[in-house]
Amino acid sequence: MIKPSRSRNVQIDKYLSVHVVRISRILRFVDSLKLPPKSKALDVGCYPPLIFNSLRQRHFDTSGVTHFGRSDKSKKIYLVNIDVNPLPFPDGFFDLVIFTEIIEHLTNPFFALSEIRRVLKPGGWLLITTPNVSRSQNVIKLIFNKNIYPDLNQIKQTSITDQTIYHRHNREYTVKEIADLVSSQGLRVVRLDTFVSYTPFRRKNQHDPFHLRFIKTANYLIMLVFPHLRDTIFLAAVK
């Protein structure tokens, strides 16, 4: 398990405290693949560069693309809007592509996935995580007649022309939909499950009032019992 470090930038440290379970799960799966040193890896949406840096520490030859971060070609980080632009890499280049918490922000996942398939080597791995649209929190919202997508004011304030459209979740998916999307690009799904990424035991929840901690804990237990209500989808596929 990754633990937040006090020496890190405060914003990155806060991000890690929220997403530590998800990031740790991805890295454990990467380790289980036992890919040889200097294997080529791509982190799609690599800002903040937590997974990117972890892959480098594991001796991957790592590249990254980001839409909101900063281009740094000395570190092999490129500024790309993968919703509309091709990846700046040749065909069959990567052994591993990480695509975590990105697909829900896109308007055209088919294009991005086709590009990922293109740059993967035969036998290369794609790892995806994304919010589960049927998670318990969404079910509860719908029961109380609340929309699970951004409210109208937020939609009004976003625009394709200034790219604020990517600040929101444009489309969340069910487990089957994610598998169908990946399979439609000719990739073979090897692992598909759900897990609880945002537990009530995270550091950010420590100062919640008692009633809120009780509700979050009860919801966590429900998600443990019913996998289809868990908050995050994990998919591993191979080309």
**Local confidence pLDDT in tens for the 239 residues of the chain:** 445 445 456 677 778 878 899 999 999 999 999 999 999 999 999 988 999 999 999 999 999 999 887 778 788 999 999 999 999 999 999 999 999 999 999 999 999 999 999 999 999 999 999 999 999 999 999 999 999 998 888 888 888 778 889 989 999 999 999 999 999 999 999 999 999 999 888 776 667 788 888 888 999 999 999 999 999 999 999 99
Q: At what angle do helices 210-225 and 136-143 cross, to 10 degrees?
A: 110
- Rounded CA-CA distance 24/176 in Å is 24
Within 10 Å of residue 105's Cβ, how many Cβ atoms?
20
Parse the chain into domains and list their residue ranges: 10-132+171-199+231-238
- SS3 percent helix, strand, coil of the chain, rounded to 5, is 40, 20, 40
Q: Which of 233, 123, 107, 119 is nearest to 180 (CA)?
A: 233
Cis upstream peptide for 48 (omega within 30°): yes
Give the fold, CATH level 3, of 10-132+171-199+231-238: Rossmann fold (3.40.50)
- Burial class (CB within 10 angstroms; exposed 0-12, middle 13-18, buried 19+) of 158: middle
pTM: 0.91
